[in-house]
Amino acid sequence: GDGGVDSVIVMLEDETDRLRVEERLQRARKLEAMGTLATGIAHEINQPLSALQLYAGSLEMLAEKDRAPDRETLLARLALILGETARIRDIIDHMRALVAHGDTALSATQVEAAVDRALGLVGAQLRAHRVAIDRVLPPDLPAVRANPVQLEQVVINLVVNAMHALDAREPADGQDRRIRIEAAYRPVQRGGAERPELPDRPDRPDRTEPGDGQGEKSADGEAPAGRVLLTVSDNGPGRQGLED
């Protein structure tokens, strides 16, 4: 009654086990993602390895014939070899970034580049599953504020999920298996409101509305205000029967 506190009850919950389970689950998901991407990684690395074998083999042939290559030829072949080894290193660094916790800092990110890098890793798998990609990305999309590695992971997950949906059930009417990746820039009017005539889902992102300022920059050179809507869709069965 006098406002004093006679006793305090404190309840503590140890979340160590829950956090450990979440960490193991996260690792398992990353390993599953690596397994999914294994075919694409092998394909990406196999190309520069084949080039390395070709360049080194040609130098070996010259040496076996007791014909020392001239300095220009030697430097040109070595430059090609170094270029291919740098390409392999970039692929490995890229994979490390995909599976590592990594930096979550946001930066100016090109949506088109993230999509292309994702397709570069899953492209071989898509071809093996007879899935065609319809890539509808306007060339003048403005950069978005995002984490490029995480954006790429999102595209990979959506594309692989769509591929599995197409494996589960063929498209109707004998259509080819297709995944469509599209993007549209949605500008913001002065005052912060988005243009109402642009749909929530860009069924036709390649159609530019008159005067929507797509890709334009302001007078002071800053990127346009608004957002980029990225959509990944397939012509499979949808979620019907795939809820589990």
Measured CA angle at 122 (ends 119, 125), to 5 deg: 135
Counted residue by residue, the chain has a size of: 244
Tens digits of residue pLDDT in 164-220: 888 877 777 778 889 999 999 988 865 555 544 444 444 444 443 433 444 444 444
Q: How far apart are CA 183 and CA 198, in angstroms?
A: 13
> Which residue(s) pair with 180 in the sheet?
134, 233
Q: How far apart are CA 186 and CA 224, in angstroms?
A: 10
Tens digits of residue pLDDT in 53-93: 888 888 888 777 777 778 888 888 889 899 889 888 888 88
Q: How far apart are CA 105 and CA 98, in angstroms?
A: 14
Residue of 160, 121, 97, 49 lying closest to 57 (CA atoms): 49
User: Are 94 and 152 contacting, i.e. CB atoms less than 8 angstroms apart?
Assistant: no
Sign of CA dihedral 39, 43, 46, 50: positive
